[in-house]
Amino acid sequence: FKQEVSADQVGVKALDDKTLYVKLKAPITYFLNLTAFHAYYPVPHHVVEKDPEIWAANDKIVSNGPFVLTHWIHSNQLQFVKNDKYWDKDKVKLENMQWPISESQSTRVSMVESGQANITVEPPISEQERLTKEGLFKMSPYLGSYYYSFNTQKAPFDNPLVRKAFSMAVDREKLVNNVIKGGKEPAYAWVPPGLTNPVTKQDFRREGGNLVEYNPQKAKELLSEAGYPNGEGLPPITILYNTNEMHKAVAEVIQAMWKENLNVNVELLNQESKVYLDARNTGNFQVARASWIGDYADPMTFMDVYLDENNDGQYHNPLYNDLVRKAQNTNNQEIRMQAMHEAEKILMDDAVVLPIYYTTQPYIAQPYVKNYRWSILGTIDFKEAYIENSPEKASEK
């Protein structure tokens, strides 16, 4: 979808070299937070116009951060040097950075332990205890939810009773404690903890409470009510996930839970990330692993995911849409928060998503890597980071 209007109609203009004027179509209480999201970073118009298809996909990308990308071998390595034109360059300590790339969690851990890298994310579940004892395993808060997305237009998940049954048949506590670990918290709703209701001063999730439950007996009853007693008559069901050791482990446990609690045989299908994302975007799945990380610090960054125009679950509920848009069109925080609580209850009652856990950012880092900072939105800042007393100090990774 593409719509073009004149520059005057867009509502964005530069008043002078350092002042940007933005006219909003509706009150947005979180607008300043939104401008800090990386999709809103400024880019030079002439660079984008020159190569509109590939300007951001090569090492010629022009940026304005503390580092400059100098070399990019896709799926292999990124290399950076300090940006001498950065406005606060005196605080930047690293002269260069090298980022090896690997989809394999085990490979990434080996690289850190062997000195080929200094820091990496998401170590394998099976290694977390050992890495903790070695002082390498760490964890940062992360505003996100790991969940399964139902395609609400594909059988058998076009029936909300079936979706509810499958959600109630998942023991999240067991999954988190025995498989996922990493300080994760079992999820019983959509919006994760970590966001404060400015009116009540309470955590949005805590005041909203749990909106789903683990109840295998009720799950069986719902499946029978949907016309599939003891799982009989269900069409073949496949869980789609992108290739990753942890996604596979979670899928295998959920597969076993659905067999035990619902007497349903489920197949697993893993795909390379690009193919998997295409399948989700085109609705070519029944139930798929998914995760959502907040773009800004407000519950709306989760609530608008399932508006009509956005969602891969093919979910369309006018009441849900109305409540979310009500929250989008007022600066009254009491009205906003109440509308989003009500909308979330509808989303969970319709069982559009199967929440599994609230995200944290597990990572491992050598102790000599200092002064980096994680954001609750999942980004890591190396602006003032440095390497201290390390044999690899001459070549930071």
State the Cα–Cα distance between residues 66 and 83, nearest whole angstrom: 5
pLDDT of residue 128: 87
pLDDT of residue 393: 47
Reported as a pLDDT band with limits 50, 70 and 90, residue 186 is: very high
Q: What tokens does 110 get? A: 């080996």
| 3-state secondary structure at position 301 | helix
Q: Letter for the amino acid at 84?
A: D
Reply yes or no on whether the pLDDT at 397 is more than 60. no
State the Cα–Cα distance between residues 397 and 377, nearest whole angstrom: 23
Q: Letter for the amino acid at 11?
A: G
Residue 312 sits at the vertex; the CA angle it makes with 311 and 313, to the nearest 5 degrees, is 90
Reply yes or no on whether the pLDDT at 395 is more than 80. no
Beta bridge partner(s), residue 73 = 77
Reported as a pLDDT band with limits 50, 70 and 90, residue 394 is: very low
pLDDT of residue 277: 94
Taking a C-beta distance cutoff of 8 angstroms, is the pair 205, 214 a contact?
no
What secondary structure letter does DSSP report for 127?
A: G
| 3-state secondary structure at position 107 | helix
pLDDT of residue 380: 93
What global pTM score does this model have?
0.80
CATH architecture, domain defined by 141-359:
Roll (3.10)
Q: What tokens does 151 get? A: 């395609």
Number of Cα atoms under 13 Å in the Cβ half of residue 211: 25
Reported as a pLDDT band with limits 50, 70 and 90, residue 2 is: low
Reply yes or no on whether the pLDDT at 58 is more than 90. no
pLDDT (mean) for 161-169: 98
Taking a C-beta distance cutoff of 8 angstroms, is the pair 275, 284 a contact?
no
Tell me whether residue 87 is exposed, middle or buried, using C-beta atoms within 10 angstroms of its C-beta: 0 to 12, 13 to 18, 19 or more.
exposed
**Each residue of 222-270: pLDDT tens digit?**
999 999 999 999 999 999 999 988 999 999 999 999 999 999 999 999 9
**Each residue of 306-358: pLDDT tens digit?**
998 768 999 999 999 999 999 999 999 999 999 999 999 999 999 999 999 99
State the Cα–Cα distance between residues 327 and 28, nearest whole angstrom: 9
Q: Hey, where are the domains in the chain?
A: 141-359
Reply yes or no on whether the pLDDT at 1 is more than 60. no
Closest CA to 138 of 171, 111, 112: 112
Q: What are phi and psi of 349, to 5 degrees?
A: -65, -35
Q: Which residue has the tokens 């939105």?
A: 377
pLDDT (mean) for 286-303: 95
Tell me whether residue 8 is exposed, middle or buried, using C-beta atoms within 10 angstroms of its C-beta: 0 to 12, 13 to 18, 19 or more.
exposed
